[in-house]
Amino acid sequence: MCVTCGCSDDGEIKITNLETDETEHNHIHTLSDGTVITHSHSHDTHIEAPQIHAKIHNTTISLEQDILAKNNLLAAQNRGWFKGRNILALNLMSSPGAGKTTLLTRTINDLKHQLSISVIEGDQETANDAKKIKETGSKVIQINTGTGCHLDASMIERGLQKLNPPLNSVVMIENVGNLVCPALFDLGENAKVVILSVTEGEDKPIKYPHMFRASNIMIITKIDLLPYVDFDVQKCIEYAREVNPKIHIFQVSATTDAGLENWYAWLTAKVTNLSTLISSQLTNT
């Protein structure tokens, strides 16, 4: 308990000074059932004021409305759109500079005779990545989010209209470089792929657990640099499995080829499975 005001001191935000070991906390109240309440009232009026309001002349409407419902609905529509065209859609996410674009251009170039891959590029500014993808001959659309830190389902819906990917193909969605926000927004993809380079830290999965929990696949990139950097691959894998026991892991280098065959095998198998699934559904109906 906070000795100054009597509040519970288990606030989520803690600011710790490592020099002095001092931790500051927010004044947040915990109810007996463990529910935590914070609000914009001052301390002395906080519980009574809203209830008094209601007694005077206001009406309380119970909503129970999911704030992300609209995004989730659009994502479901996108999913149907992909399914109807037999398209495999992957949502690629990472911190900036993990090597998404390099892995993507390499994948497109190596598989262009087997798979048709088109791309939706997400960045706050510039069309630099889209230009790199365009050089591979792939169809590509750049979405600039401005201040936005992630792509959402409505951006993908609009992007798809412009991209017009062919039937029976792959759409790669390269999300804005950010390990936090993109994890929250369903785009209607078949799988979320998180990309982590060995120049980052092996503890990223436990530092950004929402991202690694939401992802189906983790690709560790730049493994050719392992002799030069302090990155414990086994530890990284352990951390990732701690957060998400089901996560499927690849280790690759887009510059030396190492590990790429496994990633390509997974990708082509996934496309084949999708086609088999769709054709069996057609046969059954």
Contact flag: residue 123 with another protein (CB under 8 A): no
Q: How far is CA 31 from CA 8, 192, 215, 234, in A?
A: 9, 37, 34, 42
Contact flag: residue 52 with another protein (CB under 8 A): no
Q: How far is CA 173 from CA 69, 155, 177, in A?
A: 21, 11, 12
* Pairwise CA distance, residues 177 & 198, whole Å: 16
Q: Using the rule CB under 8 A, which residue among 21, 22, 44, 64 binds another protein?
A: 64
* Pairwise CA distance, residues 75 & 69, whole Å: 10
Which CB atom, from 227 or from 245, has the smaller least distance to another protein?
Answer: 245
- Least distance in Å: CB of 69 to another protein? 8
Which CB atom, from 5 or from 167, has the smaller least distance to another protein?
Answer: 5
* Pairwise CA distance, residues 40 & 27, whole Å: 11
Q: Which stretch binds another protein (CB under 8 A): 122-130, 136-144, 187-195, 240-248?
A: 240-248
Q: Using the rule CB under 8 A, which residue among 24, 135, 203, 242 binds another protein?
A: 242
- 14 Cβ partners below 8 Å, 6+ apart? 23, 24, 25
Contact flag: residue 282 with another protein (CB under 8 A): no
CA nearest 6: which of 34, 39, 44? 44
DSSP structure string for 227-254: GGS---HHHHHHHHHHH-TT-EEEE--T
Contact flag: residue 28 with another protein (CB under 8 A): yes
Site for another protein in 187-206 (CB under 8 A): 206
Q: Using the rule CB under 8 A, which residue among 14, 41, 43, 235 binds another protein?
A: 41
* Pairwise CA distance, residues 93 & 101, whole Å: 11
Contact flag: residue 143 with another protein (CB under 8 A): no
Binding site for another protein (CB under 8 A): 12-13, 26, 28, 34-41, 49-50, 53-54, 57-68, 70, 147-150, 152, 180-181, 183-185, 206, 209-210, 213, 241-245
